Structure 1
């Protein structure tokens, strides 16, 4: 069995971070979200992995390399443009051959992994197994409709009037039957080859499509709010560990992980939280559910429920909350001015909240 991991999207919902970084490499608890999926695939006993890549291919390649560090053998599959999930299957056809495979969206996270699901698929071997979960906003997802016997009778991609609250999770299991389906369908109104259309083709042509509803934690970490929520969930699993230097004038409460080379002085850190390697925390308060990456400086500041990427510095800032701060960002207070004017340098698609 093989795996097909999709890491070619442009990440428009995570701009401006994704103007300069692949969305699948934005870290959750200081580990790229893509790696959680790759680790889940390895834990399921699958080692042969194809990764669909687009314009961020060099960055994905640099992070994952040949996959050996994760116990995988990785083949990179360039996709001409993000033309839909079914188009990704078409792109990977030569790699997949006649093997069964799991398709895993690279910005999704299933906290409990997929090993039991893969084992059941290997045993029963339906033509397709689609993972579902109940959501409050099904119009934002692919949605499945089941009949009273639990059989899939309808699928729709981001419907305006959903017929159920069962969203398609970004993990699918297929036999080679899916290849005929993706070749048979045509682009949707939004110009993409939809995997929901391909699965519907399987149903219409008498193939077995099994729905599996999962109840554990799943999230499509496609926007800032979801990314912060995923970070919170993963941090809740943090085991406390201090590998760096924490001076006597500090207070650590709850599960806090301090990576090697980090220094914490005159500060309070309330877990769950993780402080990256080589990071300096001086005279600051780090609130719960905060991930601070490697080689960051936080001085005389207060931050909570946030993600700070590598190389950034925060100095003299009273309070930061629910924020995603990119790489090599510098945050400082402005000098007091009689007019209390704000001086801003913002990239495209930025969103800033300031006191009026």
Structure 2
């Protein structure tokens, strides 16, 4: 399955970190955000990476060149930042089967594989990871409205009055049907072509849309404090892993000691 990474944005809320580089090249725990994204997508089975670039695109292209960990990279250019649906259309000519989509400003430590499995097993027209956030933060994201059965009935992009606190997280799988929906999307009140509006069109046309609850965590690196929080989480997990390895080593030594005494 191919993977598309959207990395064209300017990251104005991250300035001055993005004065000389695009948001995806801001380092989190010693590596650019895009490196974290690429590693996860390759672990999920990405055969090729399609990276949508825009703002200071050459920084990304010069850094990764035409492959990463042996996986080919193709770059497409979003000349004007007119929204995620607009960005996705830049890869349409390259994609003819199911694909993964990741926003290139997210750090995930969660059940992304569940989304890919749902796409492969059920072949939904779209599947995506959702999480509940504090109500006061819901307006930062694409918000999912639900009925009394918990089924998603509508998706709204950054609403002023969110109908729920269940939001899309920035990882999706799609069939090529999403491209036609993106072509039909009209500019939002923000003047952008929103991916949430394209998903909403699929939903209301009777397409199969699956939402998978997130198990784990993710950070949308929109502000400097988001970057700091992601670094703390990654380091805490690394420390926990080191402690587990030390415990396993101690257990192995105990077993060896017992065996030698016998």
Which TM-score bucket, shorter chain as reference?
0.7 to 0.9
The residue aligned with 1:85 is 84
The C-alpha deviation readout for 1:55-83, integer Å capped at 9, x for no partner, is: 32111012222223x23210000111111
Distance in 1 (CA, whole Å) between partners of 2:108 and 2:152 is 22
SS at match of 1:187: coil
**Higher helix residue share:** 2
The residue aligned with 2:48 is 48
Q: Verify: 1:135 aligned to 2:111, yes or no.
A: no
For the 8 Å contact 2:6–2:102, the answer to whether it is kept is yes
The C-alpha deviation readout for 1:309-335, integer Å capped at 9, x for no partner, is: xxxxxxxxxxxxxxxxxxxxxxxxxxx
The residue aligned with 2:38 is 38
Distance in 2 (CA, whole Å) between partners of 1:52 and 1:143 is 24
Q: Verify: 1:76 aligned to 2:75, yes or no.
A: yes
Tell me by how many angstroms 1:119 deviates: 2.2
Tell me by how many angstroms 1:46 deviates: 1.1
Tell me by how many angstroms 1:115 deviates: 2.7
TM-score w.r.t. the length of structure 2 is 0.87
TM-score w.r.t. the length of structure 1 is 0.65
Q: Verify: 1:104 aligned to 2:102, yes or no.
A: yes
Tell me by how many angstroms 1:113 deviates: 5.8
SS at match of 2:110: coil
Q: Which has the larger radius of gyration?
A: 1
The C-alpha deviation readout for 1:237-280, integer Å capped at 9, x for no partner, is: 2259xxxxxxxxxxxxx98xxxxxxxxxxxxxxxxxxxxxxxxx
Greater RCO, 1 or 2 (C-alpha within 8 Å, sep 6+):
2
Distance in 1 (CA, whole Å) between partners of 2:128 and 2:228 is 26
Distance in 2 (CA, whole Å) between partners of 1:182 and 1:217 is 28
For the 8 Å contact 1:41–1:47, the answer to whether it is kept is no
CA RMSD of aligned residues (A): 1.6
The C-alpha deviation readout for 1:131-160, integer Å capped at 9, x for no partner, is: 111111101111001223332101111111
Distance in 2 (CA, whole Å) between partners of 1:131 and 1:112 is 9
Tell me by how many angstroms 1:29 deviates: 1.1
For the 8 Å contact 1:99–1:176, the answer to whether it is kept is yes
Query: Within 5 Å, which residues of 2 pair with 1:129-278?
Result: 129-136=127-134, 137-238=137-238
